[in-house]
């Protein structure tokens, strides 16, 4: 992997590119022949992910990656990147993402997530790069009035500072696109990303106690934790547990590439849901994972958590129509690939 790269053709800056979704997206970009510059401070990622990306794509494609260890809030570092490379577009993943931690540290979350976006967009503007894909979230829909959720569904009150940062950044970027028609911005609202690269070389490796369901289930299955905590079994759902739209991280990564290719001659700000359109309950996930790993995954029922909604799933027909994108993997595939990653990497990138 080169420390420096003479960027020819399409060069994409990927902030947070060593993280879970970022690393899988970088693989897809390289497989599409793109040049990629990753900027990541590794606060919630592992540099070993970069070596694994190189293993997946092969030596020749790995020559098209440059890694810069820097905080996206560091304007001087961003200026240096834009001056050295002919950046064509930016995919912005970088940000704090633990819901519970955001409640405990609201100042840090607002400062980092909103601050780094403002710093990035200002640097992009000054260097004449005005194509941006933003990593947003279905959390902006809040407690839905009706399902499935479309891009026209109203944005609602969020239940935590993490969600509010996504909500606010969307509004900031809409304002940027409205003020300057040269901007081409896509907001991708993810539902619940799970799974891992089929090779088992990269996957989700959260630091500390996992905030999301699947990494917790994986760690229980591999023996790192005793049981999955299921929060609430009295929702108005088929089995009483919360229903979510789980999407394979490789489908999500492919969605970014599809959006990037679609943007080529557009302007303004557009929103797309990325999900499967199918709701799956917590117990269904645990059962599917038990099947994938070959043994029962123990769980305990806990009281509901404040702010959790009973059900949430997407209508992704807009992405299908405009981007030509549709999720290809089902829940069994997601659990199989998650287990393949976790079983071969029981302690994540550390072994």
Integer-rounded Cα radius of gyration of the chain: 19
The span from the CA of 95 to the CA of 111, in Å, is: 10
Task: Spot the catalytic one: 109, 162, 216, 235.
Answer: 162
The span from the CA of 173 to the CA of 288, in Å, is: 38
The sign one gets for the Cα dihedral 92, 94, 42, 347 is: negative
Confirm whether 162 is a catalytic residue: yes
Catalytically active residues, by annotation = 162
């Amino acid at each position: 992997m080169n420390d420096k790269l003479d960027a020819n053709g399409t060069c994409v800056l990927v902030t947070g590119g060593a993280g879970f979704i970022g690393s899988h997206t970088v693989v897809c970009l390289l497989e599409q022949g793109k040049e990629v510059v990753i900027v990541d401070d590794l606060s919630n990622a592992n540099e070993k992910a970069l070596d694994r990306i190189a293993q997946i794509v092969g030596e020749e494609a790995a020559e098209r990656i440059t890694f810069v260890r820097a905080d996206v809030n560091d304007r001087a570092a961003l200026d240096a990147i834009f001056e050295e490379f002919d950046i064509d577009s930016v995919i912005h993943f970088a940000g704090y993402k633990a819901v519970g931690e955001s409640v405990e540290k609201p100042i840090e979350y607002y400062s980092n997530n909103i601050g780094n976006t403002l710093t990035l967009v200002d640097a992009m503007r000054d260097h004449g790069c005005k194509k941006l894909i933003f990593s947003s979230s279905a959390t902006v829909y809040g407690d839905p009035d009706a399902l499935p959720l479309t891009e026209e569904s109203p944005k609602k009150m969020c239940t935590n500072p993490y969600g509010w940062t996504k909500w606010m950044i969307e509004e900031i970027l809409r304002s940027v696109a409205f003020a300057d028609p040269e901007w081409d911005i896509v907001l991708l609202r993810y539902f619940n990303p799970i799974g891992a690269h089929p090779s088992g070389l990269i996957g989700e490796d959260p630091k500390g106690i996992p905030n999301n369901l699947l990494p917790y289930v994986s760690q229980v299955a591999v023996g790192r934790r005793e049981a999955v905590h299921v929060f609430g079994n009295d929702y108005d759902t088929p089995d009483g547990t919360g229903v979510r739209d789980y999407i394979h991280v490789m489908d999500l990564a492919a969605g970014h590439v599809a959006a990037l290719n679609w943007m080529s001659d557009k302007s303004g700000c557009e929103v797309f849901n990325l999900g499967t359109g199918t709701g799956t309950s917590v117990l269904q996930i645990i059962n599917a994972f038990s099947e994938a790993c070959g043994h029962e995954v123990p769980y305990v029922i806990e009281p509901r958590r404040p702010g959790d909604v009973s059900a949430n799933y997407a209508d992704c027909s807009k992405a299908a129509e405009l981007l030509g994108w549709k999720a290809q993997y089902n829940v069994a595939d997601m659990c199989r690939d998650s287990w393949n990653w976790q079983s071969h990497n029981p302690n994540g990138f550390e072994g």
